[in-house]
A and B are shown apart, each in its own frame.
Chain A
Amino acid sequence: KQEVTQIPAALSVPEGENLVLNCSFTDSAIYNLQWFRQDPGKGLTSLLLIQSSQREQTSGRLNASLDKSSGRSTLYIAASQPGDSATYLCAVDARSGGGADGLTFGKGTHLIIQP
């Protein structure tokens, strides 16, 4: 059974710092990995999707990398801003072909950017 772990569980840094969020997964047979952002009481917003054949994806100040063989992904946030404060969730798509197929989520990293 696929398990996804995110480290750290919580992170608080001053505005302007660059930071890295970590995600690891136990089964390397994945189709893709997605990073989401969730604000309190809201749904999830997709930030980046990395296909299994890709090594990284970039969107603005965000860069996500994928090392499928070692079961790891990182989300790099450059020049952090208070508006980046949210919970960041990593999810892998590893369809088993049986039952309900969907994403397996980590528990998230709760990020606070101090003004």
Chain B
Amino acid sequence: DTEVTQTPKHLVMGMTNKKSLKCEQHMGHRAMYWYKQKAKKPPELMFVYSYEKLSINESVPSRFSPECPNSSLLNLHLHALQPEDSALYLCASSQDGAVGGPNSPLHFGNGTRLTVT
């Protein structure tokens, strides 16, 4: 069992829908991440929320928007997605963040398998 919980496990949505992916951790970690992983490819970083500061991968389109309601929750809001956005979306957390001391391992959730029709 993973200590990072992602819901839902699977999501099918149309291109006009609005949906949200949720991620939760109760390890007291100060940094949380969203990664996108296409089939047979490595994960690609989308967003980092570290010490209440959001950092964005500039290549991520605006139809993806993260939200961090508190230090243990990280949501990813989806709007007007395209079929090419279908992928496994992985959430991760680490004890320290992108700013400040490094050297703590990332803990990943099992992901949300997203299909855009």
Contacts and interface: CB of A to CB of B under 8 A. Distances in A.
B113 interface: yes
Contacts of A45: 108
Contacts of A108: 42
Nearest to A6: B42
A15 B55 CA distance: 44
B106 interface: yes
Given A43-B2, A43-B90, A46-B105, A101 B113 contact: no
B116 interface: no
Contact of B103 (A36, A42, A49, A103): A49
A112 interface: no
Interface residues on A, range: 20 to 34
Nearest to B91: A43
B57 interface: yes
A21 interface: no
B98 A103 contact: no
Interface string B14-48: 00000000000000000001010000011111111
A34 B106 contact: yes
A108 B41 CA distance: 8
B84 interface: no
Contacts of B33: 102
Interface string B48-91: 10000001111000000000000000000000000000001010
A58 to B, nearest CB: 15
Nearest to B101: A31
A110 to B, nearest CB: 9
A107 B42 contact: yes
Interface of A: 31-32, 34, 36, 41-46, 49, 51, 89, 91, 93, 95, 99-103, 105-108
Pick the 3 closest A-B CB pairs, nearest first.
Answer: A105-B42, A101-B98, A43-B108
22 contacts: A34-B105, A34-B106, A42-B110, A43-B2, A43-B6, A44-B106, A46-B105, A49-B103, A49-B104, A49-B105, A51-B103, A89-B43, A93-B102, A95-B102, A100-B45, A100-B48, A100-B57, A100-B58, A101-B48, A101-B98, A102-B48, A105-B44
